[in-house]
Amino acid sequence: MATPAATKRLTREYATISKSPPPYIIAHPSEKNILEWHYILTGPPETPYEGGQYWGTLMFPPDYPFAPPAIRMHTPSGRFQSSVRLCLSISDFHPKSFNPAWEVSTILTGLLSFMTSEEMTTGSVRASDAERKLFAQRTRWWNSTGGGSQHVLGQSHQALPSSNARGIGAIKAGDGGAKFRAEWPELDEENMKWIKEKRMDPRTGMPISRESEKPHCSPDMAGLRKRPGGSATVVGAAMQSGQVARDAGQSWMGRNKWRLIFGGLLAWILVARVVGDGART
């Protein structure tokens, strides 16, 4: 439980950071516990984290500001391990180096600065810029689905067994985004709309292919669709085949009637001449 001094100090700091938040930073205390703060760092431009939505927590000790908070980042970033306490000069790893004059805004500004550097410490990881950019593109999806445990948009989030609970303030893997939604309902709603607009699969965070949305058809019809030239070619081929069939069905006399008529006329003339010559004789 927070001491009266800690409660007073954190209440004042919340008013300050709400009125004048530092660049790329927003934060607020939990409604149930003023010692538990939730923050969002927006990845700064011209960094591998640009546009990313990085959510984390600060767990303050009851005697704050005379001791520093535990700092965690829950959203995968390629820079820190998810939900692992970070060893920083402004965190609970170094209580003797903490300055009581530092405030929440000071702590989070220092965290953002450390994030965009390459300095290593407990809880940090190495990754390429390309990998970190990929993480940044998936941060909204991860926050609002708990990393894919929300199977269908619009349905209730499904809680899965925890695999990374690491002390007070850690987020359980597979919570379906329940904790994020509870602390950031407006951002969660925006994220879900963003997932739909980007046509992302909520189970994987990957784009939904248009091929997977096409209606299924029978193998015969599928085979027709694969023929070169599409339906026009198929129809043209059918018409040509019909013409050939009709030609094949006609009789020999039908195809040669004019020759027969002309031949018959010549035969009639020859017969008439022969008969005429016989009569004169």
> Regarding predicted confidence, which is higher, 158 or 137?
137
- Lowest mean pLDDT, pick from 113-117, 152-156, 247-251: 152-156
Mean per-residue pLDDT, 58-79: 97
Residue % of the chain over a pLDDT of 90 = 60
> Regarding predicted confidence, which is higher, 229 or 258?
258
Q: What is the mean pLDDT of the chain?
A: 80
Per-residue pLDDT, 223: 44
Q: Does domain 4-207 have CATH number 3.30.420.10?
A: no
37: pLDDT strictly greater than 70 = yes
276: pLDDT strictly greater than 60 = yes
SS (H, E, C) 48-108: CCCCCEEEEEEECCCCCCCCCCEEEECCCCCCECCCCCCCCCCCCCCHHHCCCCCCHHHHH
Question: Could you identify the residue written with the tokens 């669709």?
Answer: 225
**Band of pLDDT at residue 254, cut at 50, 70 and 90:** low
Per-residue pLDDT, 7: 97
87 in active site: yes
Per-residue pLDDT, 167: 56
In degrees and rounded to multiples of 5, residue 90 shows phi and psi of: -105, 10
- Lowest mean pLDDT, pick from 84-88, 125-129, 214-218: 214-218
User: Letter for the amino acid at 230?
Assistant: G
Q: For residue 65, say if its preceding peptide bond is cis, omega within 30 degrees of 0.
A: yes
Mean per-residue pLDDT, 45-51: 98
First to last CA, the chain: 148
Per-residue pLDDT, 208: 85
Any idea where the domains of the chain sit in the sequence?
4-207, 215-249, 251-281
| Contacts made by residues 46-51, CB under 8 angstroms, sequence distance 24+ | 47/116, 48/78, 48/129, 48/130, 48/132, 48/133, 48/136, 49/77, 49/79, 49/115, 49/116, 49/132, 49/135, 49/136, 50/133, 50/136, 51/136, 51/137
Retrieve residue 61's tokens: 């000790």
Give the chain as a DSSP string. ---HHHHHHHHHHHHHHHHSPPTTEEEEE-SS-TTEEEEEEEPPTTSTTTT-EEEEEEE--TTTTSSPPEEEE-S--SSB-TTPPP--TTSTT-GGG--TT--HHHHHHHHHHHHTS----TTB----HHHHHHHHHTHHHHHHHTTTT--STTSPP-----S---STTPPPTT-TTHHHHHH-HHHHHHHHHHHHHTTB-TTTSSBPPSGGGSPP--HHHHHHHTSTTHHHHHHHHHHHHHHHHHHHHS-HHHHTHHHHHHHHHHHHHHHHHHHHHHHH-
263: pLDDT strictly greater than 80 = no
Mean per-residue pLDDT, 151-174: 45
**Band of pLDDT at residue 209, cut at 50, 70 and 90:** confident
Catalytic residue among 28, 36, 50, 87: 87
User: Which of 79-93, 199-213, 217-231 is the most confident on average?
Assistant: 79-93
19: pLDDT strictly greater than 50 = yes
